[in-house]
Structure 1
Amino acid sequence: MKILCISDQIDPLIYSSTIKERFADIDLVLSAGDLPLDYLEFIVTTLNKPVLFVFGNHNLKELPFYRPSFEDRLRIRSFQEERDALSSGAVHVGSKVYKEGNLIIMGLGGSLRYNNGPNQFTNGQMNYEIWRLIPRLLFNKLRYGRFLDILLTHAPPLGIHDKEDPCHRGFKAFLWFMRVFKPRYLIHGHIHLYDLQDVRTTTYQQTQVINAYSHYLIDTGANP
């Protein structure tokens, strides 16, 4: 399966009339956050392939329709109708486990808390997001022989591709997750790459950690 991974930047190679020719062999698109839903809608309608996404810490206008608080549900009238009207055709997998073809994908959006903004989490809160999904992962292990194939996040793991400033520091929770559940890939965004020499891929334990900034292509082979 060939996967187009995207995040953080509207790439002119993708947002183009030649997208069909350039990415004709793509089977799946994974968005690691900080991209407008209009951009995802363009990809869905043009490539006619599944697009799965998580939210980051920017471009959060539609976040309340996908991860509503109690106050959001009270404030948003005709909640379901408005959400359907905003639908880009992409599938939100934040704090969910989702099966696409032969791939099992788990999504964890947001960034480490740095200014109490929306979709920001402490390490403790991210641990809680993971623990909520463990029953589904255990079910996958029993049924499919593995917990998951891909962890799709916005923020990177602590110490892998992250930065020293509070905004761009990674989650420690992702390190123990990789050690325990052994996803084949962790695909993240959040860290912009301005230099071709910047590290984009790193192996941690049995997981290949990939920065999807702008776009990156992976081929999982015939099987996960």
Structure 2
Amino acid sequence: MRKHKSHPPKTVKVLCVSDHIDPLIYSNGIKERFKSVGLVLGAGDLELPYYGYIVSSLNKPLGFVFGNHNLKRISFYRKEYKSFQADVSNTSFLERSFGSTYLGDRTAKMSGLLLAGLGGSMRYNKGMNQFSEFQMAMKILKLLPGLLVNRIFRGRWLDILLTHAPPAGIHDREDQCHRGFKVFLLFMKLFKPAYLVHGHVHLYDLNATRKSTYRTTTVVNAYEHIVIEVEVPR
């Protein structure tokens, strides 16, 4: 009897960036250094032209969420908009201008992976894109229709949740600004994404923890950049 050869699982290398322009990326060597990358994710606090540079250099899809900084400059691109909310709601403009897919409060499929995004940080000074636990929970409710479609037609809820803030107790800090959201813990428990990729917490120590595990989810801090390899379910 002929034995069927088992095929290795398909994987996608994902370049995750956040919070600080990395000279390893913003350089002439970006194409050679990241030539094996199939998808890019931006976890916030980076200006849109930086994403545009990455997309034009690598010619790969890029999905992003907004953080809690670098928001006022958005209005410079479309002066007729007067508020942050109006700017980010115009996803067609963002995607047309910077070649990127805005994932805030929505689900999407990119490079074979099921993605969802939740931008912003914990509320600390009533600034833009800051939320209470309850407000973030309401943002998660907006994702439910897309998550249900994924579960029914693709057999799983989600592969990667892209956020700006970390989950509570994982990579976060004690000050209100950098405190993580407890509702993200519930999200991981219920929807079991393979990865939660976040930014917001700067890493200045090479020995600082960048990856952690919560139940079945790998939590990754994308500060500056990190490349992860994600299995694409068949």
TM-score, L = length of structure 2: 0.86
- Cα offset for 1:91? 1.1
1:84, distance to aligned residue in structure 2 (A): 6.1
Q: CA deviation at 1:182?
A: 0.4
**Shift in Å, 1:86:** 7.6
For the pair shown, which has the larger CA radius of gyration, 1 or 2? 2
Any idea what SS the aligned residue of 2:98 has?
Answer: coil
- Which of 220, 225, 231 lines up with 1:210 in the alignment? 220
The change in CA–CA distance for 1:93 and 1:71 in structure 2 (over 3 A counts) is same
Question: Which residue is 2:129 aligned to?
Answer: 119
Whether the 8 Å contact between 2:94 and 2:100 is mirrored in structure 1 is: no
* Number of residue-to-residue matches in the alignment: 217
Structure 1 equivalent of residue 65 of structure 2: 54
Partner of 1:177: 187
Q: How does 1:96-135 map to 2 (within 5 A)?
A: 96-135=106-145
Q: Out of 160, 163, 167, which is 1:157 matched to? A: 167
Distance 1:86 1:150 in 2: 24
Residues 1:171 and 1:122: Cα distance change in structure 2 (over 3 Å): same
Give per-residue Cα distances to partners, 1:113-161, cap 9 Å, x unaligned.
0000000000000000001211221111010000010000000000000
Which amino acid is the alignment partner of residue 64 of structure 2?
F
- What amino acid is aligned across from residue 33 of structure 1 in structure 2? G
CA distance in 2, matches of 1:27, 1:173: 30
C-alpha distance in 2 between matches for 1:96 and 1:130: 9
Select the residue among 1, 22, 25 that pairs with 2:33: 22
CA deviation vs aligned residue, 1:33-63 (integer Å, no higher than 9, x gap): 0001111010011111001100000011355
CA RMSD of aligned residues (A): 2.5
Describe the shift of the 1:193–1:29 C-alpha distance in structure 2 as closer, same or farther (beyond 3 A).
same
Pairing of 1:8-19 with structure 2 (within 5 A):
8-19=19-30
Deviations 1:15-34 (A, max 9, x none): 00110010011100000000
What is the aligned-residue identity percentage? 55
Moved more, 56-65 or 140-149: 56-65
CA offsets 1:174-193 (integer angstroms, 9 cap, x no match): 00000000000000000000
Match of 2:8 in 1: none
2:61 counterpart of 1:88? no
> Structure 1 residues 56 and 133, CA, compared in 2 at 3 Å: closer, same or farther?
same
**Correspondence for 1:147:** 157
Q: Which residue is 1:197 aligned to?
A: 207
- Deviation string, structure 1 residues 71-114 (Cα, Å, up to 9, x no partner): 749x98xx97x946982111110101011132000000000000
Change (3 A) 1:50 1:117: same
- Unmatched 5+ stretches in structure 1: none
**Residues 21/128 of structure 1: CA separation in 2 closer, same or farther (3 Å cut):** same
1:112, 1:106 → 2: CA distance?
19
- Measured after TM superposition, the shift of residue 221 of structure 1 is 3.5
8 Å CA contact retained: 1:3, 1:26: yes
Match in the other structure for 1:35: 46
Structure 2 Cα separation of the partners of residues 156 and 171 of structure 1:
7
Pairwise CA distance, 1:220:
1.2
116-125 vs 95-104, which deviates more?
A: 95-104
